[in-house]
Amino acid sequence: MKNKILLFLSVIFLSFCFIVLYKGLDNSNIYTPKDISKKTLNKFVSREFFSEDMINSEEIFFGNKFYILNIWASWCLPCREEHPALMKLSKKQSVKLIGLNYKDDIKNAKKFIDKFGNPYSIIITDVNGTISIGLGAYGIPETFVLDENKKILKKYIGPLNDQSIKEINLLLK
Amino acid sequence: MLASQIGYYSLILSLFFGILIIPISIKNFNNVSQKIDTRIISISFLQFFFVAISFFGLIFSFVNSDFTNETVFNNSHTTKPLFYKISGTWGNHEGSLLLWLLVLTLFIFLFLIKSIKEPKKYRIITLLFQETIIIGFCLFIIKTSSPFNYLFPEPTEGLGLNPILQDPALAIHPPILYLGYVGSSIIFSASLAALTQNYISKNWAKHIKFWILISWFFLTLGIMIGSIWAYYELGWGGFWFWDPVENVSLMPWFCLTALLHCILVLEKKLFYSSWILILSIATFILSMSGTFLVRSGILNSVHTFANDPERGIFILIFLFVLIFISLIIFFTFNKDVHQQSIKISLLSKETSILVNNWFMMYFLSVVLIGTVYPIFLEVLSSQKISVGPPFYHKLIIPFLIPFLIFMSIGPNLNWIKSPIKKIKIQFFLIFLISILTSFLITKKFGNINLLNTILIIVSFYLFFITIKDFFSKENINFSQKISHFGFSLLILSILLNSIFSSEIITNLKVGEKIYFNKTTILFESIENTNSKNYKSIVGNFKIEDNKNNLTKLKPEIRVYDYPFTITSEADIKTNLYSDKFLVMNIVKGNEYFNIRYQVKPFMIWIWISTLLISIGGIFSLFRRLHEK
């Protein structure tokens, strides 16, 4: 009897798996983060942080030699940790810092900027996290260094530290 | 043209033999005679023979660059070296399935020859299960992925093989991996047959262990070669990326390793018999699911072959038919009556093998969930999530600590019950030594967090204990000693490698220098050369450390014409202590090159230790052959 119940349950479970996998065949191409260095950035559209206008990625990545894209959020503690490093980087002329505000409450995010300073030339928001997924991000903070052709030179997972700042400086020559 | 035709019709003939063998076997099964009908063996040989002809037909078409064959057209090119023309045969979806089929038919033939001493009914039922799998694959190939599709008019040139697949390691990686996968199909069929015939016994354990060892050996070796390829060719400077397809080969490995340990118990006592059945079934089902995940295009990865939903649906249905058949057989026949009831002490080999199995199942579930969960989540809630290395590292690494401790102590315990005094003072002494060793390492290099320190301690513990075991006379299982020693070495080298690796990424132009970790990297010059099927740019680098040791590294950028692809070939200088790894990339419209230089300690030991692990398996295999 016990065996029959077990058999019954496993059949139900497996049928469920079958249906899911069958459906999965239709929308294939599951996203998994890839090593996307050496690739170029995909186009995307997002909302500007202060003005809340929609802005195209083409307009953001325009006219500079290097870009640094930093994914951050006010609720993210490691982001505070790396903030001074970003402030330092923002003094460099050759590079444009872009902040991508990830799944954040806009009030909290503004408070964060008021309190710690704004290192970014422009901030865009990613309310549902899709832009970050498009970028191949694992989590936040994460930082991408891009060249003028929007090619990703390097990506940092986790907060930037002195070592990574040194590396970024080397890349930006 | 002719070779393709012969190949195609041989494939159909082998399907015919596969179907023919079924009524003959059933007739023979009901027969009173104790002997297996010799016709069965000859037909099984013919089946293998015609698949082999078909496979050679395909190889022949590849060698002759016969572009009327669609598979050849899609995957080959006249300028390719002969070696890669041949390896191109299984470097694509259609050809690799034909290779699967070849190994399937070869293994069932070998099984029939090798199992002469086993009961007739058991052999026939194994054959029937195996034929079901073979016929399924045959139909799959003929229906959805025939390697012999005809193209007219004949194209003048082929599309070429993906250059990252043009590598010696990758030429042998699939065949070896398939030997492992397909070996598990024999274990699957044989254990189901043994279940229906109520033949699960010590004798059966001895007999099936041979096949477990074979498939475990090839699976281990196959995974290792794939990993070496990823290290050399993908140029990311790592050897394991938790890519879904890598995971898919790792899952049957966990299962098979658990099975390998369990079968040792069954050889001595009738324990764990249902569990062994579940493991045998699961190993093959996982291999098949792997095929499904890779071939259906449901996952995206470096390995995915051309996506075709029709193929996915076929394998999916086939896979679930096999799962349901094995489920029903398992629940109808498994009665658990002959379980001996002996009390096993907590301190015994049986318990430690059980613990090993728990860990294997835990690791397996982590990898399984990490690989499959994103698919389920997207279908059920259309959310996309990413599962990357951090997930696996966080869930697996801490559990290595108790695992390694059990692994050090387990093999030294007795069957049934070990007296406490056996846990000798030696064990504590060795533990103290390992603490001391890791203390010295931490002190010398600093900056190691607590988790890593503990990991170093326990892996040194296992390392020292396995070394000690080599000198002890009590335990005669030499192959186990080698494998466990290899494993301790593997964990240790991976650990030290990941802690002490250093890397620099920068842009350099010819003539420039950069300082990094007390070494100077000088970009001397570049050379352009032409090869048969690609052009290359070779950079000359001089690496000089503070003791004036000079290393020259020549990374290469290859530009392949067919299909047009640019690949970066890393230059790696290996010695016993560390690998120096340098790879360069073109920065567009610039005289600068993007340089990535890495020092990876103990890299070669990762390969050596994996080799040791599999050599342990081979030793055990030879010992069994010798005993007979």
For residue range B566-594, what is the model confidence (pLDDT) as tens digits? 777 888 888 888 888 888 887 766 678 88
- Residue matched to tokens 């695992």: B403
Q: Are residues A14 and A70 in the same domain?
A: no
> How far are the Cα atoms of B77, B429, B444, B452, B517 from residue B440, in angstroms, in the given order?
56, 17, 6, 14, 22
pLDDT band at residue A44 using 50, 70 and 90 as cut-offs: confident
Q: Report CB contact under 8 Å: B298, A167.
A: no
| Chain B contacts in chain A segment 38-77 (CB below 8 A) | 38
Strand partners for B529: B536
Quick check: B277 and B292 in contact, CB under 8 A?
no
Whether A24 has its CB under 8 Å from any CB of chain B: the answer is: yes
Calculate the CA B193 to chain-centre distance. 26
B41-50, B150-159, B438-447, range with greatest mean pLDDT: B41-50
Q: Report CB contact under 8 Å: B379, A23.
A: yes
Neighboring chain B residues of A3 at a CB cutoff of 8 Å: 331, 334
| DSSP strand pairing (B578-586 vs B571-574) | antiparallel
Q: Report CB contact under 8 Å: A11, B324.
A: yes
* Mean pLDDT of the region B166-192: 89
Q: Are residues A70 and A144 in the same domain?
A: yes
Q: Are residues A90 and A159 in the same domain?
A: yes
* Mean pLDDT of the region B92-102: 90
Q: Are residues A42 and A111 in the same domain?
A: yes
Q: d(Cα B397, Cα B363) in Å, to the nearest integer?
A: 10
Q: Mapping DSSP to helix (H, G, I), strand (E, B) and coil, where does residue A92 land?
A: coil
Q: Report CB contact under 8 Å: B386, A14.
A: no
Quick check: B519 and B544 in contact, CB under 8 A?
yes
Give the total number of structural domains in chain A: 2
Q: Concatenate the DSSP letters of all residues of B482-523 into one string.
A: HHHHHHHHHHHHHHHHHHH-EEEEEEE-TT-EEEETTEEEEE
pLDDT higher than 70, residue A35: no
Quick check: B515 and B545 in contact, CB under 8 A?
no
* pLDDT score at B184: 93
Closest-CA residue of chain A to B322: A14
* pLDDT score at B535: 84
What does the pLDDT look like over B472-504, one tens digit per residue? Answer: 766 567 888 889 999 999 999 998 888 888 888
Q: d(Cα B159, Cα B563) in Å, to the nearest integer?
A: 6
Q: Are residues A3 and A64 in the same domain?
A: no
Q: Are residues A58 and A120 in the same domain?
A: yes
Whether B300 has its CB under 8 Å from any CB of chain A: the answer is: yes
Mean pLDDT across chain B, nearest whole number? 85
pLDDT higher than 90, residue B149: no
Neighboring chain A residues of B324 at a CB cutoff of 8 Å: 11, 14
* pLDDT score at A38: 55
What does the pLDDT look like over B69-84, one tens digit per residue? Answer: 888 888 888 877 888 8
CB burial class (10 A; 0-12, 13-18, 19+) of residue A9?
exposed
Q: Among B320, B379, B393, B590, which would you mutate to test the A interface (most chain A Cβ atoms within 10 Å of its Cβ)?
A: B379
Alpha helices in chain A (DSSP H): 2-26, 57-60, 77-89, 106-116, 130-135, 162-171
Whether B566 has its CB under 8 Å from any CB of chain A: the answer is: no
pLDDT band at residue A34 using 50, 70 and 90 as cut-offs: very low
Select from B495, B424, B419 the least CA-distant residue to B456.
Answer: B495
Q: Among A8, A19, A25, A29, which would you mutate to test the B interface (most chain B Cβ atoms within 10 Å of its Cβ)?
A: A25
Q: Are residues A40 and A76 in the same domain?
A: yes
Which residues are within 8 A (CB) of B136 and not within 5 positions of it... i.e. 6 or more apart?
B318, B321, B322
* pLDDT score at A126: 83
* pLDDT score at B368: 94
Select from B136, B152, B156 the least CA-distant residue to B144.
Answer: B136
* pLDDT score at A28: 47
* pLDDT score at A31: 39
* pLDDT score at B278: 92
- Residue matched to tokens 């890393």: B570
Domain of A124, CATH number, reads 3.40.30.10
Q: Are residues A16 and A60 in the same domain?
A: no
Distance to chain A for B385, nearest Cα, Å: 7
* pLDDT score at A169: 82
Query: Distance between the two ends of chain B, CA-based, in angstroms?
Result: 48
pLDDT higher than 80, residue B382: no
Whether B22 has its CB under 8 Å from any CB of chain A: the answer is: no
Q: Are residues A100 and A121 in the same domain?
A: yes
* pLDDT score at B135: 95
Domain boundaries, chain B: 2-235+243-335+346-381, 389-500, 502-604
Residue B218 — φ and ψ, nearest 5°?
-70, -35
Within B510-576, strands assigned E span 513-516, 519-530, 534-545, 550-553, 556-560, 565-569, 571-574
Which of B374, B506, B585 is nearest residue A170 as measured by Cβ atoms? B506
* pLDDT score at B8: 93
Calculate the CA B339 to chain-centre distance. 33
- What secondary structure letter does DSSP report for B524? E
Report the 3 state secondary structure along B575-627: CCCEEEEEEEEECCCCCCEEEEEEEEECHHHHHHHHHHHHHHHHHHHHHHHHH
Distance to chain B for A29, nearest Cα, Å: 5
Q: Are residues A16 and A76 in the same domain?
A: no
Q: d(Cα B314, Cα B308) in Å, to the nearest integer?
A: 10
pLDDT band at residue B68 using 50, 70 and 90 as cut-offs: confident
pLDDT higher than 90, residue B106: yes
Q: Are residues A63 and A137 in the same domain?
A: yes
Q: Report CB contact under 8 Å: A153, B594.
A: yes
pLDDT higher than 80, residue B4: yes
B83-87, B365-369, B508-512, B556-560, range with greatest mean pLDDT: B365-369
**Cβ–Cβ pairs < 8 A, chains A and B:** 106
* pLDDT score at B105: 94
Which residues are within 8 A (CB) of B525 and not within 5 positions of it... i.e. 6 or more apart?
B510, B539, B540
Neighboring chain B residues of A170 at a CB cutoff of 8 Å: 504-507, 514
Range of the structural domain that residue A47 is part of = 34-171
- What secondary structure letter does DSSP report for B71? H
* Mean pLDDT of the region B40-64: 94
What does the pLDDT look like over B221-266, one tens digit per residue? Answer: 999 998 988 887 766 667 888 888 888 899 999 999 999 999 988 8
Select from A49, A111, A109, A119 the least CA-distant residue to A83.
Answer: A119
Better-scored residue on pLDDT, B119 or A155:
B119
* pLDDT score at B131: 94
Select from B267, B265, B271, B311 the least CA-distant residue to B292.
Answer: B311
| Chain A contacts in chain B segment 239-278 (CB below 8 A) | 241, 243-244
Q: How many CB atoms lie within 10 A of CB B480?
A: 20
Q: Among B336, B505, B584, B598, which would you mutate to test the A interface (most chain A Cβ atoms within 10 Å of its Cβ)?
A: B505
* pLDDT score at A30: 39
Mean pLDDT across chain A, nearest whole number? 79
CB burial class (10 A; 0-12, 13-18, 19+) of residue B54?
buried
Q: d(Cα B364, Cα B248) in Å, to the nearest integer?
A: 10
Whether A5 has its CB under 8 Å from any CB of chain B: the answer is: no
Which of A28, A138, A173 is nearest residue B507 as measured by Cβ atoms? A173
Q: Are residues A104 and A164 in the same domain?
A: yes
